[in-house]
Amino acid sequence: MFAETERILGSRTPHPTSYLPRTPEERSEKVPVGILNLNLEKAQTWKNDGMASFSLRKVRGQWQSYQTDRDNRIVMHLPAGSYSLKVAGVLRKTFFLIAGTQFDLSID
């Protein structure tokens, strides 16, 4: 134990770096994303300080909860794929988000 303490105190970097730098060939691939413009201004739901809550789920994934901004709108960058949208606990829309595109969605 004392030897390990001495090694740590005598070294400028007591711990090795937590990751090794990757070469350009080893880097992760880009995730293709699309943009979702969601407008819940006319949706019949409880709004806390002008913010509406909603849930979004990618196919075979878990439901994730979100809130809009005070204007009841939100812009989200999401991985391409098929999604389901719940507002006030009710499934309101299913849609497919294509990479590199923008999808405008308004719930009445």
CA dihedral sign of residues 105, 58, 56, 29: negative
Q: How many CB atoms lie within 10 A of CB 85?
A: 20
Q: Tell me if 22 is assigned to some domain.
A: no
Q: Tell me if 91 is assigned to some domain.
A: yes
Domain enclosing residue 74, as ranges: 30-106
Q: Count of domains in the chain?
A: 1
Q: How many CB atoms lie within 10 A of CB 68?
A: 21
Query: What is the tens place of the pLDDT at every residue in 43-72?
Result: 777 777 778 889 999 998 999 999 888 888
Residues of the chain with pLDDT under 70: 1, 4, 7, 12-20
* The model's pTM: 0.70
CATH number at residue 66: 2.60.40.1120
